[in-house]
């Protein structure tokens, strides 16, 4: 019998920690053998990791697709700016269609009212400017959504 009674619990706790397998100094096959020996199954746990990796890959793909779509989408803002440069060629009917297509609710009603009140080219430019600003805000908030 060894005289081991003289050591206190702290020493025994350190001894226990010392004895535990240290995976850092083990080759992978030794880690696998120790897991097997201890009856620690890693399959269910790694299945969770795989699901997480798949979910992340799907999210990455969806974000890339969204980004590509955003870059390819002809911006309404750009269209309106384009129209504004040739504002004289725009008819009230075309503007009415753009407002109906692009806006809804109170914004749509306000733009219709402003369109009805247009009396000069400056009024028309002002209307297009308001529309393009609101459109830009809408696009930004659409893009910010997850």
Partner 1 sequence: MADMANVTEDEWAQYHKRLTLHAGGFFVAYGWRANGGWAGPGGITPGDIAAEAILKVLDGTRRYDPSTGLKLMTFLRNVVRSLVNHLAEAANTQHSRPMPQIHLSDTEDPVDMEPEGDEPDPLDNCIKNETLANLKAMSAKEDDPLLVDILECMNADITKPAEIAEYLNVDVKTINNAQKRLWRKAEKMLGRPKREGRS
| Binding residues vs partner 1 (CB under 8 A) | 1-5, 7-21, 23, 25-26, 28, 31-32, 34-46, 48-50, 52-53, 56
Output the CA angle 129-85-135, nearest 5 degrees. 35
Q: In whole angstroms, how close is the CB of 42 to partner 1 at the nearest point?
A: 5
Q: What does the alpha-carbon distance between residue 83 and residue 19 come to, in Å, rounded to a whole number?
A: 78
Rg over CA atoms, the chain:
34
Closer of 12 and 129 to partner 1 (Cβ): 12
Closer of 20 and 69 to partner 1 (Cβ): 20
Task: Count CB atoms within 10 A of the CB of residue 115.
Answer: 17
Closer of 21 and 90 to partner 1 (Cβ): 21
Q: In whole angstroms, how close is the CB of 70 to partner 1 at the nearest point?
A: 23
Q: In whole angstroms, how close is the CB of 29 to partner 1 at the nearest point?
A: 10
Q: What does the alpha-carbon distance between residue 33 and residue 77 come to, in Å, rounded to a whole number?
A: 63
Closer of 15 and 65 to partner 1 (Cβ): 15
Closer of 1 and 117 to partner 1 (Cβ): 1
Distances 122 to 70, 102, 118 between C-alpha atoms, Å: 31, 22, 9
- Which residues touch 139 (CB under 8 Å, ≥6 apart)? 75, 76, 77
Q: In whole angstroms, how close is the CB of 53 to partner 1 at the nearest point?
A: 6
Q: In whole angstroms, how close is the CB of 30 to partner 1 at the nearest point?
A: 9
Q: What is the dihedral of CA 31, 37, 38, 44, to 10 degrees?
A: 70
């Amino acid at each position: 019998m060894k005289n081991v009674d003289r050591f206190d619990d702290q020493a025994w706790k350190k001894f226990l920690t010392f004895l535990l397998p240290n995976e850092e100094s083990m080759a992978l096959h030794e880690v696998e053998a120790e897991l097997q020996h201890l009856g620690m199954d890693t399959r269910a746990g790694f299945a969770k990791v795989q699901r997480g990796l798949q979910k992340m890959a799907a999210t990455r793909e969806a974000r890339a697709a969204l980004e590509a779509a955003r870059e390819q989408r002809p911006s309404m803002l750009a269209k309106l700016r384009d129209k504004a440069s040739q504002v004289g060629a725009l008819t009230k009917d075309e503007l009415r269609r753009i407002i109906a297509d692009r806006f809804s609710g109170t914004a749509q009603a306000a733009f219709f009212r402003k369109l009805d009140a247009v009396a000069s080219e400056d009024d028309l430019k002002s209307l297009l400017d308001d529309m393009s600003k609101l459109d830009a805000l809408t696009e930004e908030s659409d893009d910010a959504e997850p």
